[in-house]
Chain A
Amino acid sequence: MEENGKVLEMRNICKSFPGVKALQNVSLTVYEGRVHALVGENGAGKSTLMKILSGVYEVDAGEIVFKGKSLKHQDIKEIMDLGIAMIHQELSPLENMTIAENLFLGKEPSLKIGCFVDFKAMHKNARRMLEDMGLSYDPARKMRSLSIADMQLIEITKAIHRGASLIIMDEPTSAITSNEIKTLFEHIRKLKEQGTAIVYISHKFDEIFEIADDVTVLRDGQYICSGEIKDYTEADLIARMVGRKIDNYYPKEQAKIGETVLKVKNLNRNGAFRDISFEVKKGEIVGIFGLVGAGRTEVLRAIFGLDEFDSGEIELCGQKIKKLTTDYMIRQGVAMVSEDRRTYGIIPRRSVEENITLTFLKKFMNGVFTSRKKENAVVKEMIQELLIKTPDEDALIQNLSGGNQQKVVLAKWLLGDLKVLMLDEPTRGIDVGAKSEIYRIISQLAGKGVSVIMVSSELPEILGMSDRIIVMHEKTIVGELNVTTATQEGIMTMATGGRYYG
């Protein structure tokens, strides 16, 4: 790579959040007129790095040089004004406003009397901007009538016309069709010709190899390698993305695997997942791996009755479930622990005790009245058994650490007659010590005959804990692997849409 034409240089960037080192000495160099692909697993630090660049987070250490100027403490608006634009994965246009209004948001041309918007000039300029991009929309059209790809193009138009010389695209193709991807790529090529630099974050290797010039791989918040894309193959990239050591950190014991407990047949939900069929046996831990957006969480939610599905069947212990509600599933011994603990796990301003007994409160009654005494006895036992670190059972759960909150959520389900436990990213945002304790609990449960479905984005966790691994890609199951023969590379290849048989 040539030294000149350097647009951006990020050197030895470090960033920590409480309990996690999100980035350690990460470097990234982006050149004029080139597309730089940033790849890595979920949680590798790509988004954090880009949030630092776009001014959302401040760095702990390291240096950012943009067009020869060192950046420090700039906020989001200042960064934008310098010419760095970010197109977010989840777009946030003002849908009830027009295209023109979105394009000029915050920079509306004004009439002579300052506070009035000059709509005529705004529409005229908007039309010119759209024509420059080869787009033929009426600037007066409402944003909500556009497809996601169109909205993306509007965002890109906005970025260019605000003089962005570096555009960050965070998984721009995650929600658009292949035709729309083609259009997007044409525009990216045009931008390259004009000298705009692009950072392109994606999980899709075919796209990366088609559009990118350079690539940087991150893993667990660390810089792994960087270079021209032509020097790499897909297998090289995957190996560098996943190459993590699996040690004896997973206390998985082989449980006795019995008959089928849960059977899912041809489950479909438009836009969320399709043709989902799998089964889980007594005492078995089935890992579901997939990248963000693969449809894993949606499948769990549907099985748990939180979302409806369009077609398909679910059988529990050989019985077809006719009317599936969350309430019914819980009574049948099915439980789900969400990846989003704050939204779906805890009642933050209530006590540890109330959070634990919430679901099976009927077990702690004296007639129609709740019995604190009965609750107390069982909750104290739970706190000891699961090693929940809390001053006492009356402490507010919001004051506990993430790992201990997660143990409380698990404890809640352990009070019932648990048959199937569905875990969605059970160790997200949890420190290492608490992680291994949660693995121990899961393993013990399987040992007692509970069927466990564990959705995870962490390959070592999937390989360390599962008996069987289901891989999802683009809203469907692309394969099932036996844990003894599966490899990190193999799983990642399948999850990114490649072919692999393990």
Chain B
Amino acid sequence: MDKHRKLSFSEFYVKYGTLFIFIVIFVIAAILNNRFLTVNNITNILRQNTVYAILAFGATFVIILGHINVSYGTVAALAGCVAAMVARNTGSMTLAVLAAVAVGLTAGVINGFFVTKFQVPAFIVTLAMQSMAQGFVFLFTNAKPITGLPDTFKIAGQGTIGFIPVPVIIMILFFGFSWVLLNKTKYGRYVYAVGGNINAAQVSGIRTKNIVRLAFIFDGILTGIAGVILMSRINSGYPSAGEGYEFDAITAVVVGGTSLSGGIGTMTGTFVGALIVGIINNILNLMNVNTYWQYAVRGFIILIAVVADILSKGINKRNN
């Protein structure tokens, strides 16, 4: 085989597709609106990005494993509201974050348990979780926002260090951690193996169920963190604040090149995918596009991304 042969379309797409799309969309956005390329706006994109970017890091593990999670929005809202309540009652931000993480972790444990123990499709398990968390968050808050929070609650979502927003720093820290976990540890290697061929992984001595459970747990912890940032940005516990976040998170992962059929994907791709989703949302806002049109556009984007993934695989097959 010649190592220096020309890249085929599918190889190009798999390797650089996400980056290419990012550049194209960035350039289009810059041309369409002169307010796009301002420091203020870029900071704004990054800040708005953080919640679903952090969700997307966890989702990357889940989706590489061939599963899915559609419960991010309501679980993040539940975790965030619990954090707000704890912060108001104790005044301690540490306890608030711990409580949010505990909520997310519990949801992750439950998701992972039903997916592995009873082989319930993850879509169904997490759909049920979405509804349960929705119910709990409204019960727990009486469907009223939790307000009167200590000033420290704002920092995670609104603070800055120098000119860099705190949430962006938190996102970058979690990106780094997720990247290392996926690329530099045994666990990450096993995730690719189980997602790529669960039977071969099992025969190779990998405890496949543990790998899946851990992914849902990590995913749940990140959901808890994302919930805190979400509520911190509006400085209250708002029970329906998380609505639709699962969609942006999954779109970021898929646009980032992770295959919904498992085994393939990168953390960097997800990061760029989240930026792409952020830019699209941002430019639609800058152009004053009707909110309902925005929904339609986002739906269309995820469809295109999935088709591109399937096409790239089809082309691969024919090459072999």
Contact = CB atoms under 8 A, between A and B. Distances in A.
B203 A344 contact: yes
B203 A327 contact: no
B199 interface: yes
A330 B206 CA distance: 10
Contacts of A354: 189, 192-193
B189 A346 contact: no
Interface string A355-380: 00011011001001110000000000
Interface string A288-303: 0000000000000000
A361 B201 CA distance: 13
A453 to B, nearest CB: 15
B185 interface: yes
Given A370-B186, A399-B1, A347 B200 contact: yes
A347 B197 contact: yes
Contacts of A392: 3
B162 interface: no
Nearest to A409: B200
B263 interface: yes
A365 B196 contact: no
A347 to B, nearest CB: 4
B103 to A, nearest CB: 27
B1 A395 contact: yes
Contact of A348 (B197, B201, B203): B197
Contacts of B34: none
Nearest to B2: A391
Interface in A392-421: 392, 395, 398-399, 412
A349 B205 contact: no
Contacts of B38: none
A373 to B, nearest CB: 12
Interface in B1-34: 1, 3
A361 B186 contact: yes
A345 B197 CA distance: 9
A395 B200 CA distance: 18
A389 to B, nearest CB: 9
Given A346-B197, A347-B263, A306 B189 contact: no
A336 interface: yes
B196 A348 contact: yes
A392 B1 CA distance: 10
A399 B10 CA distance: 15
Interface string A329-355: 011000010100001111111100010
A423 to B, nearest CB: 13
Given A365-B186, A395-B1, A399-B320, A344 B192 contact: no
Contacts of B205: 326-327, 330-331, 359
Given A336-B203, A370-B184, A350 B196 contact: yes
A391 B203 contact: no
Contacts of A306: 202-203
B228 interface: no
A89 B260 CA distance: 34
A304 B207 CA distance: 14
Interface string B96-125: 000000000000000000000000000000
Nearest to A370: B184
A359 B204 contact: yes
Given A349-B263, A358-B204, A399-B320, A344 B186 contact: no
Interface in A87-137: none
B137 interface: no
Contacts of A361: 186, 189
Nearest to B264: A349
A348 B193 CA distance: 9
A347 B196 contact: yes
A25 to B, nearest CB: 30
Nearest to B183: A370
Given A368-B185, A399-B320, A412 B204 contact: yes
A55 to B, nearest CB: 23
Given A347-B263, A354-B193, A365-B186, 20 more contacts: A326-B203, A330-B204, A331-B205, A338-B203, A343-B197, A343-B200, A344-B203, A345-B200, A345-B203, A347-B200, A349-B264, A354-B192, A358-B193, A358-B201, A358-B206, A359-B204, A359-B206, A368-B185, A370-B184, A391-B3
Interface of B: 1, 3, 180, 184-186, 188-189, 192-193, 196-197, 199-207, 263-264, 320
Interface of A: 304, 306, 326-327, 330-331, 336, 338, 343-350, 354, 358-359, 361-362, 365, 368-370, 391-392, 395, 398-399, 412
Smallest CB-CB A-B distances: 5 pairs:
A330-B205, A347-B196, A391-B1, A369-B184, A359-B204
